[in-house]
Structure 1
Amino acid sequence: MKVFFAKHKKALSAFSTLLIFAVLVISGGGDSKAYNALAMAGVMVVFWIFEVVPIYATALIPLFLAVPLGLLDSTDLAKSYGNHNVYLFLGGFILALALEKWKVHHQIASRIIALFGSTKSRVLIGFGLSAYILSMWISNTATALMMLPMALSIIQLQDSKDSGINDRFPLLLMLTVAYASSIGGMATLVGSPPNTQMAATLSATYDLHITFVEWMRIGGPVSLILFLFFTLFFQYLLGAERTVPVKNEILQSNWTRPQKRVLLLFACVILLWVFRSNIVALVQIEIKDATIAILGAFLLFLIPSEQNEPLLRWQDTVRIPWGILVLFGGGIALALSLEKSNVLQYLAANAEFLNHWSLVFILLVVIVVSLFATELMSNLALVSVLVPLVAVLATQMGYTVFQLTIPLTLAASCAFMMPVSTPPNAIVFSSGKVTIAQMASIGFFLNIIAVLTLWGYCYFFLA
């Protein structure tokens, strides 16, 4: 029986989900928005959890169900998939593509690593800081992909030199790439997809807007605190190996003209993000963070490189993870459908018992549920489902929407135990240098550290 279920898990999940969908729609008489919204949400959640189809394909479901079921009109549906936060991330992806194409990340990382020295302890710190800084400005997925080859090259040198010696350095170096990428991604809106998803959902459903700088004021300090705890923990795990020298052949080279141009453009985009509110006040024209990101991306196709070709060609964009952008849109459409059908308000009204809970306890529950649930499913899908519900619960209990949705979102980037938890974990696991047991055992302690850090920080900072 177990073998049969394992073999046909996707088919059984799809069948049972469609059955529930049919029952809910029929029981709602075909005209009940609440039943229809629950039916669509149920299908999407089950498909996301069991990956009946790719999670990005599941995000397409509102495109063919939301309008026929009377949940959204075509205008609202178009706004969901065309939300300005979707284009903020698209611009970030294109900028990251240019950094990768011209190996700007290699220049930055090699200099940071060289600055810290060549003992095992210092190499871990150098790699961690490089990944942390890069993932603040480009997605944590792109950062992990960029840093992995450099880490593998160092490990291969140690393998050839110290054959037969079993130490923790290769494992910790691999996990440093994954974990530092995730932690750094918490600091900015474009660093990790859940951050952008939360901002887009609240913008679409509550008309609440959080800017790039506002997020940095919240996510920046807590990500730095977590990075410091993570660094100290890994130094402790390294033990007596801390002072052992490491053979390092990561070479520094001179900056090329295209690299300088990409870096200058990237720096200009960051400065425009930081001083956007001042610029808007000065010129009296509405400018969004997404506007700046897309402008920077557009200029990459215009500014020439050394070969008299643009820094980026359109053919380069085939490597952009377009599926994540679709997932953003699907999550926003789902949240808007649940909000307009009053499902969330109904659920919140029937959760009156939560009114007797203190904020400190509710925060702990939200953080623990988000962090450990994302060990089993995509953190972006999780945020798409839970942010609308938690936002309504927050208002029902007399708190601001941000007091619960921000801790939920930050916790979704702190799952360190399983490869499926976040893309950086999966990327590092694919190297074959880390087993699930190793990631789970070390990641569990980091999860506990993350829970306690987020709990204390969010309670005192967001209260």
Structure 2
Amino acid sequence: MVTAVYWVSEAVPLGAAALVPAFLYPLFGVLKSSEVAAEYCKDTTLLLMGVICLAASIEKWNLHKRIALRMVMIAGAKPGMLVLGFMCCTVFLSMWLSNTSTTAMVMPIAEAVLQQLISTGVADAQEDYDNIESPEEDSGSVTSPCRAQPTAVTIPEPEKPLDRKDSPYPTKRDHMICKCLSLSITYAATIGGLITITGTSTNLIFAEHFNSRYPDAKVINFGTWFIFSLPISIIMLILTWVWLHFLFLGCNFKETCSLSKKRKTRREELSERRIQKEYSKLGPISYPEIVTGIFFILMTLLWFTREPGFVPGWTSLFEKKGYRTDATISVLLGFLLFLIPARKPWGHTQDGTPKDSNPDPLAPMITWKDFQSLMPWEIVILVGGGYALAAGCKVSGLSVWIGRQLEPMNGLPPWAVTLLACLLVSTVTEFASNPATLTVFLPILSTLSETLQINPLHTLIPCTMCVSFGVMLPVGNPPNAIVFSYGHVQISDMVKAGFGVNLIGVMVVMLAIMTWGVPLFQLTEFPDWAIVRNVTDSL
């Protein structure tokens, strides 16, 4: 309870609060100090370390920037399509990098485009207004009888540019575009983090909790999670884009999605020019980028083919089963990045000249400093604290007591239990950090599922995804705070847009768990691997 209060209130840093079980359990005789210490480093810790090695290489050699700019160039410069392009590249990057890192990478690129939009809009609006102030310059010396009846024709006056002292935006529409693009990036980072088991820390917390509590399950791995979550993210991406377009850009989807080759506006041309200029600064693709891309593809393929389920995976080639996990792959490839030189060991450089002399020609792809700058040690300690809490609940009998208190919910159908849990979790996570919220709720939801004879995955997976939907306030998660710091959006904008995104997320997750999730995880039956954990058997 002490740790949970500290997590929710954030009176002390989350990592520091996670250390409370390390000294309270031994002092009160719940667990030995050595037993508590063993809970703080699990398989997911090594998995995270390997992924961070790859992320460090991606960031160091600007592969993320090349991918983002290329995808935005493909999308085009129409405001609606520009937003969709940024959302797609953010989703893709967030699959492999942390949501916070992805947002921090993409927002400066988006801000450069927005500033170009604003500066162009100011010039255009001022030019139009000046033309209205002096119409005789355009009328020439031709006179007409119609000139004597100015009231016969009503010419709409273009919007006067806003006073720069009051607003930095030339028009209200420009402000709406800035809001839409800024919010779309934080929402896309959240959506992308759902797709892979390593996409966000809450997915890792769930995976380790589930595998520790149900060691015989063998149903959660990179492949099964990807198959389940990819359709969710695609549907959420489309619906979120539609919602933001409707809220900030209006309902003219026909113009946004039009493929006509009509002449582009000055703003669109300058925006595309700015993006192309940023892309040209990267130069030709470099040798380290190629190596990083190969490692990225290799890691993904090895994760998928380890135990795909429908065919034997590459782990079947080994005699002993169960020794190799996704962490084995990530740590191996991450370790190799410290060994492989960042300079091409043969041929010429990209410009055709021989390799120049380098003080350290064997400098590796990444250094320990690169790795350490990205490694989220607070999350590692936080996850370990959650495991320690779960171990204490098991030994002390708290799990059994919670199971007794939840027995009155026996009359509810599984979908209702899951929906109530999702709504509760998505509400709490608006005011508390995502990892802390999930760490508190996972043991409770596991006990609830066991008590009600529901497949634990029926409640755990939806709640794990819904805990990421803290998108209504800047304190909901770090990507929200990053976007808010740029000053384009107000809290009222985040609440209004985030409420719709939250509802979309809960509905899509519930749709998934009631449809394609049923055959994928066998959710219609209470599995054997959960029966041994059934708390009602021990009452």
Give the structure-1-normalised TM-score.
Answer: 0.87
Q: Does 1:204 align with 2:240?
A: no
Aligned amino acid, residue 222 of structure 1: I
Name the count of aligned residue pairs.
Answer: 422
Secondary structure of the 2:334 match is: helix
Identify the residue that residue 305 of structure 1 maps to in structure 2: 342
Superposed displacement of residue 205, structure 1: 2.6
Identify the residue that residue 432 of structure 2 maps to in structure 1: 377
* Counterparts in 2 of 1:46 and 1:203: CA distance versus 1, 3 Å: same
1:280 aligned to which of 308, 311, 315: 315
Q: Does 1:259 align with 2:289?
A: yes
Secondary structure of the 2:26 match is: coil
Superposed displacement of residue 47, structure 1: 0.9
**CA deviation vs aligned residue, 1:243-275 (integer Å, no higher than 9, x gap):** 575313123332111111111111111111111
Aligned amino acid, residue 236 of structure 2: L
Identify the residue that residue 106 of structure 1 maps to in structure 2: 65
Superposed displacement of residue 75, structure 1: 4.4
Is the 2:46–2:327 Cα contact (8 Å) retained in structure 1?
A: yes
2:330 aligned to which of 283, 290, 293: 293
Secondary structure of the 2:191 match is: helix
In 1, the alpha carbon distance for the partners of 2:411 and 2:487 equals: 48
Identify the residue that residue 81 of structure 1 maps to in structure 2: 40
**CA deviation vs aligned residue, 1:32-83 (integer Å, no higher than 9, x gap):** xxxxxxxxxx111111122111112111112222222233334432332111
1:401 aligned to which of 456, 464, 471: 456
Aligned amino acid, residue 227 of structure 1: L
Identify the residue that residue 227 of structure 1 maps to in structure 2: 237
Identify the residue that residue 372 of structure 2 maps to in structure 1: 318
In 2, the alpha carbon distance for the partners of 1:157 and 1:71 equals: 61
Is the 1:85–1:290 Cα contact (8 Å) retained in structure 2?
A: yes
**Structure 2 residue ranges without an equivalent (≥5):** 123-169, 257-264, 308-312, 344-360, 524-539
Q: Does 1:176 align with 2:184?
A: yes
Superposed displacement of residue 192, structure 1: 1.1
**Structure 1 residue ranges without an equivalent (≥5):** 1-41
Secondary structure of the 1:67 match is: helix
Identify the residue that residue 142 of structure 1 maps to in structure 2: 101
In 1, the alpha carbon distance for the partners of 2:30 and 2:46 equals: 24
In 2, the alpha carbon distance for the partners of 1:235 and 1:403 equals: 33
Aligned amino acid, residue 452 of structure 1: M
Secondary structure of the 1:66 match is: helix
What does 1:59-78 correspond to in 2, within 5 Å?
Answer: 59-78=18-37
In 2, the alpha carbon distance for the partners of 1:72 and 1:203 equals: 21
Identify the residue that residue 171 of structure 2 maps to in structure 1: 165
Is the 2:23–2:33 Cα contact (8 Å) retained in structure 1?
A: no
| Greater alpha carbon shift after TM alignment, 230-239 vs 441-450 | 230-239
Is the 1:198–1:409 Cα contact (8 Å) retained in structure 2?
A: yes
In 1, the alpha carbon distance for the partners of 2:14 and 2:489 equals: 25
Superposed displacement of residue 415, structure 1: 2.1
Aligned amino acid, residue 314 of structure 2: I
Is the 1:91–1:293 Cα contact (8 Å) retained in structure 2?
A: yes
In 2, the alpha carbon distance for the partners of 1:116 and 1:458 equals: 32
In 2, the alpha carbon distance for the partners of 1:284 and 1:267 equals: 27
Identify the residue that residue 407 of structure 2 maps to in structure 1: 352
In 2, the alpha carbon distance for the partners of 1:96 and 1:433 equals: 28
Secondary structure of the 1:47 match is: helix
**CA deviation vs aligned residue, 1:121-172 (integer Å, no higher than 9, x gap):** 1111110000111111222222111111111111111121113222211111
Identify the residue that residue 445 of structure 2 maps to in structure 1: 390
Superposed displacement of residue 105, structure 1: 0.4
In 2, the alpha carbon distance for the partners of 1:297 and 1:110 equals: 26
Is the 2:180–2:245 Cα contact (8 Å) retained in structure 1?
A: no
In 1, the alpha carbon distance for the partners of 2:498 and 2:98 equals: 21
2:299 aligned to which of 225, 249, 269: 269
Q: Does 1:368 align with 2:423?
A: yes
Q: Judging by fraction of residues, say which structure has more helix.
A: 1
Secondary structure of the 2:38 match is: helix
Identify the residue that residue 186 of structure 1 maps to in structure 2: 194
Identify the residue that residue 214 of structure 1 maps to in structure 2: 224
In 1, the alpha carbon distance for the partners of 2:120 and 2:239 equals: 31
Aligned amino acid, residue 408 of structure 1: C
In 1, the alpha carbon distance for the partners of 2:121 and 2:103 equals: 26
Superposed displacement of residue 445, structure 1: 1.2
2:477 aligned to which of 422, 439, 442: 422
Percent of aligned pairs sharing the same letter = 32
Is the 1:204–1:336 Cα contact (8 Å) retained in structure 2?
A: no
Is the 2:484–2:490 Cα contact (8 Å) retained in structure 1?
A: yes
**CA deviation vs aligned residue, 1:409-457 (integer Å, no higher than 9, x gap):** 0101122201121222122122222221111111011111222222222
Secondary structure of the 1:173 match is: helix
Secondary structure of the 2:454 match is: coil
Is the 1:348–1:393 Cα contact (8 Å) retained in structure 2?
A: yes
Give the structure-2-normalised TM-score.
Answer: 0.75
Structure number with greater Rg is 2
In 1, the alpha carbon distance for the partners of 2:438 and 2:214 equals: 16
